[in-house]
Amino acid sequence: MLQIPAFIDSHLHFLGLGYYDEIVNLNNALSIGEIYNLVENIDSEIVYGRGFNQENLIDQRMPTKNDFNKINKPLVLLRVCGHVAVVNQAMLDLMGFTKSTKQINGGSFNYDTGLFTERTLDYIYQALPKPTKEDIKRYAMKANRRLLENGITKIASDDFSTFNLPYELIVEAINEAYEENLIDVEITEQVNLPIDKLKDFINKGYVNKRFNNFRMGPLKILADGSLGGRTAALKKEYSDDSNNLGILTYTDIELYELVGLASKNDMDTVIHAIGDRACEQALKAIIKAQKKYPRKTPCNAIIHAQVTSKSQIDLMRKNNISAIVQPIFINTDIKIVNERLSERSKESYLFKTMYNNIQLGFSTDSPVETVNPFHNLYCAITRNSIDNPMYKPFNELERFSLEEALDAYTYNNLRFVYSNSLDDYIEIDQDIFKTDTSNIKDIIVLKTFKNNKLVYKREN
């Protein structure tokens, strides 16, 4: 048994973590037929599942609407990354989509396959049943339990984009959950709002507002998609998909309008940018805003930064721009990164290089990946995959020492949750500093303490 500081996760989806506990889990599906079997008899108005990864399916292809048209109710299946979805014909009909429905910028849909990407996913979310305030509090309670049992007591979380609901209802529900003692974890909200709602948020005085253990944090922007879904925006086409450069969800002008508005109003910005083209666009917008609206201690950051070059990292260093990264992504992406990027894979997932040059914090992006911090630490330290141990370590020179990895998961993350003290702690079942590296992924949290109060104890 050993006592260590509690973990801080600097980017996840708190309500999503609780919500996805109640929908169909497709993470372990190994074929389209297996997915079908999991969803065909679900008793709900709209069948909703998440977690499939076409790379793990024996079919070796994306599911399409034709695979699920025999299900006579609307169906939505979200890829594990959350950036691609497939719907059946009944869902297309519910949404009012036809072959003549026009495309929009920043995303795409294919009527014939039922595949939707990026900003077109909003059409799907608008058609889903809206959760009530009590639903939201239940999701929050479930997520809180999951975090505490993994030794996490502070988080930065994107919640306003999880449901098609007014952001004020989300704020109200989470605050009521605190008042009713349903949650213990401190939340810094990564404010994911479109330009019109961001203006409303600012005008109503929500910027940097604190409600006890819940505070409003930086603006959160999605600049591109995912590598697994081939929607991350790259400078050069995908090695396994010619003529595909991925998707930029905003034009340069649109992106700067958001970042500039935030900076003008003393609000930081964190930008989801996985591909190098998205990272370049994000850095230009942040740097331009920092120069036009200089602030004493800005905390702007790139989230994910998987295909970020050394020259871009140097630009981040020169302009005091941080990174929030997920070593756990190696667990899944180790199977596809060389196919997607070929030689460029050698200059990807450069997390240790970032750690040596800029402020860098660890997160999991859960429920995209497991919220378990010991899995994340294992991937950072070994550069191995837990689920795919047959692969060689990925870019071994980017390995962290245990001390460095813990630093990125605790002290460095204080900056991203606007805190200044590691005052929470956990008890774990073995000495992480003495155990073999291979055992780190198997460490179990026995107790979690928040403000010296026991908030979680593992049952035997």
pLDDT of residue 305: 98
CA distance 332 to 456: 29
Q: In the prediction, which pLDDT does 88 show? A: 97
Report the alpha-carbon distance of residue 152 to residue 267 in Å, rounded. 25
What's the pTM value of the predicted model, to 2 decimals? 0.94
Kind and range of the H or E run holding 216: strand 214-222
State how many domains the chain has.
2
Quote the mean pLDDT of the chain. Answer: 96
**What is the domain extent for residue 434?**
2-14+132-457
On whether both 312 and 361 belong to a single domain, the answer is yes
- AA identity, residue 363: S
Same domain, 165 and 256: yes
pLDDT number for residue 1: 85
pLDDT of 427 reads 98
Cα separation, 63 vs 455, whole angstroms = 42
Average pLDDT over residues 165-178: 97
Q: The domain that contains 47 carries what CATH number? A: 3.10.310.70
Within 10 A of 168 (CB to CB), how many other CB atoms are there?
Answer: 14
| 449 and 388 inside one domain | yes
State the pLDDT at residue 449: 98
- Asked whether 152 and 185 are in contact (CB, 8 A), the reply is yes
pLDDT for 279-315, tens place per residue? 999 999 999 999 999 998 999 999 999 999 999 999 9
Lay out the sheet containing 75-79: strands in order across: 24-25, 47-52, 75-79, 84-87, 115-118, 107-110
Same domain, 159 and 273: yes
Residue 212 has pLDDT above 90, yes or no: no
Average pLDDT over residues 319-346: 96
User: Six-digit token pair at 139?
Assistant: 């999701």
The pLDDT of residue 364 is: 98
- For the segment 55-110, what is each residue's pLDDT rounded down to a tens digit? 999 999 999 999 999 999 999 999 999 999 999 999 999 999 999 999 999 999 99
CATH code at position 217? 3.20.20.140
Structure confidence by residue, pLDDT tens digits, 133-149: 999 999 999 999 999 99
Q: Are residues 170 and 26 in the same domain?
A: no
Q: Which of 75, 109, 127 is the last residue of a domain?
A: 127
- Do the Cβ atoms of 177 and 30 come closer than 8 Å? no
Give the max Cα distance, the chain. 63
Let me know whether 336 and 381 are in one domain: yes
Residues 389 and 280 in one domain: yes
Q: How much is the CA Rg of the chain, to the nearest whole Å?
A: 21
Number of Cα atoms under 13 Å in the Cβ half of residue 389 = 4
Q: Residue 46 pLDDT more than 80?
A: yes
Domain boundary among 64, 92, 127: 127
Q: Would you tell me the crossing angle of helices 195-203 and 252-264 to the nearest 10 degrees?
A: 10
pLDDT tens string 228-278 = 999 999 999 999 999 999 999 999 999 999 999 999 999 999 999 999 999
What are 454's two structure tokens? 């026991």
323: phi then psi, degrees, rounded to nearest 5: -140, 140
CA–CA separation, 266 vs 41, rounded Å? 50
Confidence (pLDDT) at 276 = 98
Q: Are 358 and 321 in contact (CB under 8 A)?
A: yes
Residue 195's pLDDT band, with cuts at 50, 70 and 90, is: very high
Whether 101 and 228 map to the same domain: the answer is no
Q: Treating both helix axes as pointing N-terminal to C-terminal, what angle do 373-382 and 402-409 enclose, rounded to 10 degrees?
A: 140
Q: Tell me: do 316 and 305 sit in the same domain.
A: yes
The strand pair at 47-52 and 75-79 is best described as parallel
Instruction: Give the confidence band of 200 by pLDDT, cuts at 50, 70, 90.
Output: very high
- CA separation (Å) from 384 to 31, 146, 198, 333, 379? 25, 25, 40, 11, 5
114 and 8 within one domain:
no
pLDDT of residue 460: 77
pLDDT for 124 equals 95
User: Which of 127, 148, 164 lies at the terminal end of a domain, its last residue?
Assistant: 127
Tokens of 136: 């939201």
Mean pLDDT of the region 206-219: 96
Question: pLDDT over 70 for what percent of the chain?
Answer: 100
Find out whether 12 and 157 touch, Cβ atoms under 8 Å: yes
Let me know whether 371 and 451 are in one domain. yes
Same structural domain for residues 295 and 237? yes
Amino acid at 97: F
Contact 319, 309 (CB under 8 A): no
**Cα gap 52→302, rounded to integer Å:** 26
